[in-house]
Amino acid sequence: NAKLIDNDSVIFYERGMDEPYTRLVDLEPDLKRALKEDEFLLYLQPFEEARTGELCGFEALIRWQHPTRGLIGPGEFLPFIEQLGMASELDDWVLEHAAQLIKRWQGQFDTLVPLAVNISAKHFQQPQLTQKLKDLLKKHNLSADLLELEITENVAMSDIKTGMNVISQLQGMGLKVAIDDFGTGYSSLAYLRRLPIDRIKIDRSFIAELQESDADATIVKALIRLSHGLGKRVVAEGVEKEHQHQLLKELGCDVIQGYYYSPPVAEAHAADMLARIQTQAAVSQ
Ligand code: C2E
Ligand code: MG
Ligand code: MG
Ligand code: MG
């Protein structure tokens, strides 16, 4: 169940129930306003290069700075956005602001790292996505290698032909694509091989199961070998503990993300992290 708090009461919304629908509609103007008035903001969660321990990218994760309710996470409003058919509007907002953020960083730093953006399922299935992304890169004069896209496994697999087409087009534009939450969806390994994606992000449920003993590492080990066998980079998400971090490094995982390295942070904090890698680059020159 998703929970959402409105102005004067707590709404419990249950999937598949018709009854709260009127309330869902009540939420629409709120969400429209949030888009228009920029009440949303992007938090940034760093990626760590496993081999070196260095910052190698960020993922943009949306938050809603609600005028009266404070900071709200996507788990509490994305389901409503999708139900209201506003998913691509939200993605457009995120892409535009991600592009603006990259531009700001370009003005401040010599060394940049890519920014990954999550694309919702509904939006990915729309034929105009690739053109939109082309326009976005052109409008901001952005190099495609600074922007990455994350789509969930089911999105790419539900309509294989479309999925392959879209991903090929994106790849042709120089955009890297990652399969998010890998292992929770259809997992059609044969198609995975044919999808021209760059990275596989192992879902955090598998990482959470990595216990102190090595025995539980079987699935993660297999996923890393599978990905490498297909020529893809592997990202582990939701890495919280030192022993998980250590084990993933030993297993040859390429990129690590999670609270252990850093939680999602506000823009200023992310900029501090970027500032730090400039000094390192300058020192090692
Ligand atoms: P995701 O893309 O798989 O993002 C990872 C989620 O796990 C994030 O939650 C992040 O804060 C959380 N996380 C990161 N490290 C850890 C950890 O070590 N332990 C635990 N327990 N959690 C960790 P968040 O920010 O609440 O986002 C949830 C989901 O909402 C995302 O899952 C993504 O599917 C979606 N989402 C977030 N931002 C956007 C967006 O801008 N656009 C779209 N379309 N979807 C978004
Ligand atoms: Mg993601
Ligand atoms: Mg994920
Ligand atoms: Mg996830």
Express each pLDDT in 12-41 by its tens digit: 444 444 444 346 667 888 899 999 999 999
Per-residue pLDDT of 51-82, as tens digits, reads: 999 999 999 999 999 888 889 999 989 988 99
C-alpha angle 98/103/106, rounded to 5°?
Answer: 125
pLDDT of residue 194: 83
Element (DSSP H or E) covering residue 60 = strand 55-66
CA distances from 229 to 60, 201, 246, 276 (A): 28, 15, 22, 34
Q: Which residue, 39, 102, 127, is CA-closest to 270?
A: 102
Find the 203 Cα to ligand 3 centroid distance in Å.
6
Per-residue pLDDT of 97-118, as tens digits, reads: 999 999 999 999 999 999 999 9
Work out the pLDDT band at 2, boundaries 50, 70, 90: very low
Work out the pLDDT band at 157, boundaries 50, 70, 90: confident
Q: Measured on CA atoms in the order 242, 248, 252, 254, is the torsion positive or negative?
A: negative
Name the residue with the closest Cα to ligand 1, atom 42.
Answer: 118
Phi and psi for 88 in degrees, rounded to 5? Answer: -75, -30
Find the 180 Cα to ligand 4 centroid distance in Å.
7
Find the 150 Cα to ligand 2 centroid distance in Å.
6
Q: Please provide the distance, in angstroms rounded to a whole number, between the alpha carbons at the two ends of the chain.
A: 53
Q: Tell me the average pLDDT across 216-231.
A: 91
Name the residue with the closest Cα to ligand 1, atom 37.
Answer: 61
pLDDT at 213 > cutoff 70 = no
Higher model confidence: residue 84 or residue 40?
40
Higher model confidence: residue 21 or residue 236?
236
Percent of the chain with pLDDT over 90: 66
The model's pTM is 0.91
Ligand nearest to the CA of 60: 1
